Chain A
Amino acid sequence: QKEVEQDPGPLSVPEGAIVSLNCTYSNSAFQYFMWYRQYSRKGPELLMYTYSSGNKEDGRFTAQVDKSSKYISLFIRDSQPSDSATYLCAMSLYNFNKFYFGSGTKLNVKP
């Protein structure tokens, strides 16, 4: 069983839709949860960073962590064509520890 599971997609939505991206994990000791956005042939860009359970909002992005279910989500409101990218979840036991990445979900927002 992989440490982190993520549906690879692709996920195709119309512009303006609410997008829900999810990851599940098996190690209950994970404490730090991140979402990265990666455009084709580019390095990942940090979008959201969450410690432990709860919600965090930043503009059109909301990250949720449910440690009891070992499930994390990223919601994108009013999605834009510029949001089209691959979204990677990542988690770690403690800071500067090894990151465990999901396989990434490819999102396509159609104009």
Chain B
Amino acid sequence: GAVVSQHPSWVICKSGTSVKIECRSLDFQATTMFWYRQFPKQSLMLMATSNEGSKATYEQGVEKDKFLINHASLTLSTLTVTSAHPEDSSFYICSAGRTSGGKDEQFFGPGTRLTVL
């Protein structure tokens, strides 16, 4: 159990286009989902936290209008990178939170590698 999927696993796009990444919790309902970005040989940097049915909370320095997050249901959150530029090329990873046995846990998706030409 506790499987989180992401789609697509990799995407290449032209500068100026928008890219949507989906994050799904396949076998549990996630009250909270998180979006991270990871540059090569660096750690994960939290971009935003989203709760189903409410607006996402963005970390300082993350542009809300550029990285649109929609948490439409308890099993699906989407991240749209608008007007992508080469500096947005990165590994984007989502995680989904659930409560089990009185313990709250985060489970990570496999990540989406975005390359902007």
Real binding pair: yes
Binding site for B on A (CB under 8 A): 6, 8, 36, 41-46, 49, 51, 88, 95-96, 98-99, 101-104
A8 to B40, CA, bound (A): 13
Q: Is the interface of B mostly helix, strand, loop or mixed?
A: strand
Name A49's contact: one of B31, B46, B97, B103 (CB within 8 Å).
Answer: B103
Taking a contact as CB atoms under 8 Å apart, the answer to whether A43 and B110 are in contact is: yes
Closest to A100 in B: B46
Q: Known contacts A96-B31, A96-B32, A96-B97: does B44 contact A44 (CB below 8 Å)?
A: yes
Number of contacts between A and B (CB, 8 Å)?
A: 52
Chain B residues with CB under 8 A of A8: 41
- Interface residue ranges of B15-55 to A (CB < 8 Å): 31-32, 34, 41-46, 49
Taking a contact as CB atoms under 8 Å apart, the answer to whether A43 and B111 are in contact is yes
- CB pair B108 A45 closer than 8 Å: yes
Q: What are 7 A-B contacts with C-beta separation under 8 Å?
A: A41-B113, A43-B93, A43-B109, A46-B108, A51-B103, A88-B43, A102-B43
A6 CA / B42 CA spacing, docked (Å)? 11
CB of A98 within 8 A of CB of B49, answer yes
